Amino acid sequence: GESVGLHLPTLSVQEGDNSIINCAYSNSASDYFIWYKQESGKGPQFIIDIRSNMDKRQGQRVTVLLNKTVKHLSLQIAATQPGDSAVYFCAVLHGGKLIFGQGTELSVKP
Amino acid sequence: DAGVIQSPRHEVTEMGQEVTLRCKPISGHDYLFWYRQTMMRGLELLIYFNNNVPIDDSGMPEDRFSAKMPNASFSTLKIQPSEPRDSAVYFCASTWANYGYTFGSGTRLTVV
């Protein structure tokens, strides 16, 4: 099977700083990874994904890094803004199922 | 595209009553997933369909839960009878070829 864990349940950063949210997964056969953002009262919103044949992928202000050797995934948010405050989930596709971690709550201080 | 549409947004029901949650996936998507979210257990996959066929229902907690997908544009998740421990937010998600999942806004279920 697959299990997904996040290193920190909460993260507080200053507006304008960079944020890094980490995630670990257990099964080396997992081949697709997604980061989601969930705001209060809403469903998870797709941020960025990466496949196992890549180490890094960049979007607008976000970067996902994948280290398959240690089975670690991270989401980097550049110049964090108040609107980035939310719970962030990593999700790992394994055996046709998307398995979610517990989430990191990001708070952005003005 | 209107995205994944779920109804109702909120449901309050009494213990023992039947509850039906509804989902309309994104047109053209061939996978549909039902998730449940609670503070204690996070996001749990209950069941998923591919081309309207249930593929894996191992996450369905017990026989009180059932899900159907009669066509490509509609799915239901039914709980009968409902219990207070079923209180949670239920999400539906759809995707094409099992990549880039899109979630609905969820149904917040409260069983009293």
Look at the block and give the residue holding tokens 């993260």. A11
Closest approach of B105 to chain A, Cα-based (Å): 4
**Average pLDDT estimate for B40-68:** 94
Q: Pick the residue of A6, A37, A64, A97 with the most B CBs within 10 A to test the interface with B by mutation.
A: A97
Nearest by CB to residue A96, choosing from B42, B56, B106, is: B56
Question: CA end-to-end span of chain A, whole Å?
Answer: 41
Residue B18 has pLDDT above 90, yes or no: yes
- The model's confidence at residue A4, banded by pLDDT at 50, 70 and 90, is confident
Q: Do residues A90 and A23 make contact, with C-beta atoms less than 8 angstroms apart?
A: yes
Nearest by CB to residue A97, choosing from B42, B45, B100, is: B45
**Average pLDDT estimate for A1-27:** 89
Q: Do residues A28 and A71 make contact, with C-beta atoms less than 8 angstroms apart?
A: yes
Residue B1 has pLDDT above 70, yes or no: no
Q: Pick the residue of B5, B39, B103, B107 with the most A CBs within 10 A to test the interface with A by mutation.
A: B103
Percent with pLDDT over 90 in chain A? 78
Answer with the residue of higher pLDDT: A9 or B35: B35
> Do A102 and B42 lie within an 8 Å CB cutoff?
yes
Residue A42 has pLDDT above 90, yes or no: yes
Residues 6+ apart with CB under 8 A from B74: B22, B23, B24
Nearest by CB to residue B98, choosing from A93, A102, A103, is: A93
> Do A43 and B104 lie within an 8 Å CB cutoff?
yes
Of the candidates B39, B40, B83, the one whose C-alpha atom is nearest the C-alpha of residue B63 is B83
Phi–psi pair at B40, nearest 5 degrees: -75, -40
Q: Which residues of A touch B3 (CB under 8 A)?
A: none
CB pairs < 8 Å spanning A and B? 44
**Average pLDDT estimate for B66-86:** 97
Q: In whole numbers, what is the pLDDT of chain B averaged over residues? A: 95
Q: Inform me whether the C-beta atom of residue A56 falls under 8 Å from chain B C-beta atoms.
A: no
Residues 6+ apart with CB under 8 A from B92: B4, B6, B21, B23, B25, B32, B33, B34, B35, B75, B77, B103, B104
DSSP A26-40: S-TT--EEEEEEE-T
Indicate the DSSP class of residue B10: E
Phi–psi pair at A73, nearest 5 degrees: -130, 140
Question: What is the distance of C-alpha B40 from the center of its chain?
Answer: 18
Residue B80 has pLDDT above 70, yes or no: yes
Q: List the single range of A4-13, B19-28, B30-39, B67-76 with lowest mean pLDDT.
A: A4-13
Q: Inform me whether the C-beta atom of residue A83 falls under 8 Å from chain B C-beta atoms.
A: no
For A82, counting Cβ atoms within 10 Å of its Cβ (0-12 exposed, 13-18 middle, 19+ buried), the class is exposed
Of the candidates A4, A64, A60, the one whose C-alpha atom is nearest the C-alpha of residue A35 is A64
